[in-house]
Amino acid sequence: MLLAFLTVLVNLLGPPITIFFTARWEARKIPGVRVAPQPLSDYSVSDAPGTLLSYLGYEFEVPWNASFKEKAAPRGLVLLKFQSGQNVLFIVPDNQGGLLTEIVRDKSMHMDNLGPVFGELLNRSAYDQYAALLNTTPSSIRAFGPRSDAKRGVALLTIKAVAMGPGLETGIFSFEFPDKHGFQVGDPQKSARVKLEAFGMGGHHVEIICETKKDGARLSQPELNRILKSLRVVSRESTAAPLSHIAARQNQMIGPD
């Protein structure tokens, strides 16, 4: 009788306990997954002399007028290295339907089994998918709640840790401009690397990673806002980056000039 009771207990509590400890293990490994988006409070825009750039069907301004070099990058990525110490990696994702949709449909990743786990999230906008991803934290996962919700939470937390890269621990911010909205991963006052995920502009999604590589060079929120505010679509035709480059683009900006 006792053995039967223990068997039932393990079957009932085993999966929730596994989910509980998996979420906590991710948080210990990458503390930044505990951070959820907060509204951006500083919308001031730099008026410093800048440079107008146009790549992959988009146009934007950077608040630096130093000379720069274009570095070789995979399809759909453009890497710019400014003499003043700032680097900009501009990315147009291949699948504009959302990161989770792209993960499930990219045959090279062999993650189509996550389709049932994400469920109706795959039918939502690219912005909504990122919002669900970034708002997932260990404390938001209810291990003893509905099993499907808990599994989805663990999958989202794992992807958040891998795909978002450095900067989570310094802050995540949601922003709203008249023609675009999105998320900023990283606080320029605390991190030399900030990732901008911009959505809108007629259903477009682009990713811009900014970092500084020279001593004394710093990013500021008004500089980032200048880039975001000026970002616009100039052509419907662009060369997009396939998801297989996610890991590579996390390290693309690291290396000798």
State the pTM of this model: 0.80
Mean pLDDT check: name the lowest of 20-24, 66-70, 93-97: 20-24
Count of domains observed in the chain: 1
Whether residue 219 contacts residue 211, with contact meaning beta carbons closer than 8 Å, is answered with yes
**Which has the closest alpha carbon to 92: 181, 199, 205?**
205
- What is the domain range of residue 99? 1-257
Alpha helices by DSSP H, listed for 55-184, are: 99-105, 115-118, 126-134, 147-163
pLDDT given for residue 202 in this prediction = 83
C-alpha closest to that of 55 among 93, 98, 92:
92
Main-chain phi, psi angles of 235, to 5 degrees: -155, 140
Integer Cα distance of 243 and 99 in angstroms: 8
User: How far lies 168's CA from each of 184, 199, 230, in Å?
Assistant: 10, 19, 25
pLDDT tens-digit series, residues 7-48 = 333 343 344 445 444 544 455 566 678 889 999 999 999 999
First-to-last C-alpha distance (Å) of the chain: 70
For the stretch 155-164, pLDDT in tens is: 888 888 877 7
Report the relative pairing of strands 38-39 and 172-177 from DSSP bridges.
Answer: parallel
